[in-house]
Amino acid sequence: MNAERYEQLGTATLVTATGIVAASILADGQLAKALNGVGGLTWFASSALLVMAGRQSPKHRWQWAATIGLTAAVAFVIKPTDLTLATVGFGATGLAIGMAAKADPILWAKLIPGLYLPMHIGTAILKAVGRSALGMEASIRSEPPPTAAVVPFVMVVAAVAGGFLASALRERGVGLGKRRPAS
């Protein structure tokens, strides 16, 4: 399979995962738990597909490092219930990686929310371990408010919008290491 097909499938799977996660937030009891598990697995599958697309994209090691670093930053800072912070944070990181990427700025922007859930789970575990070591309560999950159902989708849309903005700016000659000719 080529990079474009991996990206298409990864994007569709990621959007599907956000819908399943939203349904799990709105549901109750066993249904919510089942949907949450399916949503998480679907999100991890989208991560794998987008990573496969990224592996076939023209790249540099620093692009992967920047993508992972930006994802870690949003995973550590942004709570999956904070709509405003998700919009600003994912929009900004989508724009940043889109401007820095040598090619495929929108793909690299999609990788931020694509890798978010695995990174978010990792940072939640680290936070819980740290709290436990400090003698504090080490809870990992709380009951999110119903408005949190839209946040995963907003994360994806904001990052992709940042990638599109980066692509448009790059087409105008704005970007890292590029200077517009003097008039």
Range 21-41 average pLDDT: 92
Residue 10 has a pLDDT of: 96
Per-residue burial over 151-176, b if 16 or more Cβ lie within 10 Å, else e, is bbbbbbbbbbbbbbbbbebbeeeebe
Amino acid at 152: P
**pLDDT confidence of 176, banded at 50, 70, 90?**
low
Q: Between 123 and 111, where is the model more confident? A: 111
Q: Between 126 and 156, where is the model more confident? A: 156
Contacts for 172 with CB less than 8 Å, ≥ 6 apart: none
Range 104-116 average pLDDT: 95
Residue 17 has a pLDDT of: 96
Residue 59 has a pLDDT of: 65
pLDDT tens-digit profile of 136-171?
Answer: 876 655 667 777 899 999 999 999 999 999 999 988
Residue 135's CB: how many other CB atoms inside 10 A? 7
**pLDDT confidence of 181, banded at 50, 70, 90?**
very low
pLDDT tens-digit profile of 42-99?
Answer: 999 999 999 999 988 776 778 899 999 999 999 888 888 889 999 999 999 999 999 9
Residue 141 has a pLDDT of: 59
Range 99-122 average pLDDT: 91
Strands (E), 20-128: none
